[in-house]
Amino acid sequence: MKSLLTPLKNNKNKLFSSFTNRIVMAPLTRMRADPTTSIPNKLHEIYYSERANKTAFILTECTAISQDGNSFPGACGIWNNDQVKGWKNVTSAVHKVNGKIFLQIWHCGRAGHSSVLGKIPVAPTGMAIRGIKTRFAKVSVDYEKPHELTIDEIKSLVEEFRQGAKNALEAGFDGIELHGANGYLIDEFLRDAFNKRTDIYGGSIENRSRFPLEVIDSLIEVFGPSRVGIKLTPGGRLNDMFDSNPILHYTYFLNELNKRNVGFIELVETPEWRAGPNLYGINEYEQIPNVCKTFRNVFNGVIIANNGFDFETGNKIIDDGYADMVSFGRKIISNPDLVERFENNWPLTDSNEKTYYTKGEVGYIDYPRYQNQSPKPKF
């Protein structure tokens, strides 16, 4: 079957039921904004609108709620009016081609560096990332020991997420995804190898889930539950992360999302790409061999499978009943007409990893459509 190319019949969620296929553009860090302003520009308009044509919906790059939370120079923000105006141009361009676009909202937590942030990064616990050097700091150095957040500071961060969601709604986004994966702030609260707090935000599974759920509640207040989702890496090791019992923990967490009628989750399948050594002696595949299969009967909403899928494996995970949709990253970078290529069995263009985090249009908006398809927009 070609399940990826069929509509998603989900009577609980009118927006998702309107999609004509199950192909999602995954959130991808590309760093094409001005690093001094974090404002989306014309490049973003072209990049996202090209890939919105026929795609069920777009998930944007991780977009910071504040300068303090933006560890990637050139990543976009959603904390001021100029950024909202820039995103409005992007969402308008996507809507002109009848596409849908969700903002991935984000805070880097301890995975930042003062040379980029202008201050020491913050986190639930004052423990630095081990085993790897900073990736996007001005110099390649060890990660810094972060400032351990106070309860008042945690409450302020919830409000920053809420304001970011309000800004996203004003900018015209159709929905929002919380970045709860890969060792950034939300993930840092969830997992017990890092969250060593002894107050209401640490210790038990319930306490470690408290801040992420407070943020989810703030997003729901703005967008409503059906247009809110979260990306999760229950077994991922990126940025020195680990949880001693991820199945128990994420079963609790997903049931809490069910109570809130959250629309979707994006689950990163194993094995996950790992930056740095495995410091815990157990890799993510050993801990959770099949993430979507493990949590399929736990979560009531739409499950989007992510990580390394192609047309064949994407169809299979849907046919097996473990996911409802699949998000594509590297393949959609280099194939702006990915859906059409899947529909027509056209060959795919390989992406150039050397241009993932560079500047300008090369490797960003210069990938052609197949053969003599519609020319890309000019600016």
Q: List CB contacts of 139: < 8 A, sequence separation 6 or more.
A: 115
Alpha helices in the chain (DSSP H): 14-17, 42-52, 81-96, 114-117, 151-170, 185-190, 205-223, 246-259, 284-287, 291-295, 311-319, 330-334, 338-344
Catalytic residue among 47, 48, 143, 184: 184
Residue 315 CA neighbour count, 13 Å, CB half: 9
Q: Measuring CA to CA, how many Å separate 320 from each of 4, 287, 313, 324?
A: 12, 21, 10, 10
Whether the link from the prior residue into 271 is cis, omega within 30° of 0, is yes
CB-based burial, 79-105: b 16+ in 10 Å, e otherwise: beeebbebbebbbebbeeeebbbbbbb
Let me know if 322 is a catalytic residue.
no
Q: Please, which residues bridge with residue 178 across strands?
A: 105, 230
- From CA 206, how far away is CA 379, in angstroms rounded? 50
Can you tell me the distance from the alpha carbon of 56 to that of 49, in angstroms, rounded to the nearest whole number?
A: 12
Per-residue CA distances from 331 to 6, 149, 338, 348, 359 (Å):
19, 38, 7, 8, 20
Beta-bridged to residue 105, according to DSSP, are 63, 178
**How many angstroms separate the CA atoms of 30 and 72, rounded?**
9
What DSSP state is assigned to residue 133? B
Residues assigned a catalytic role: 184
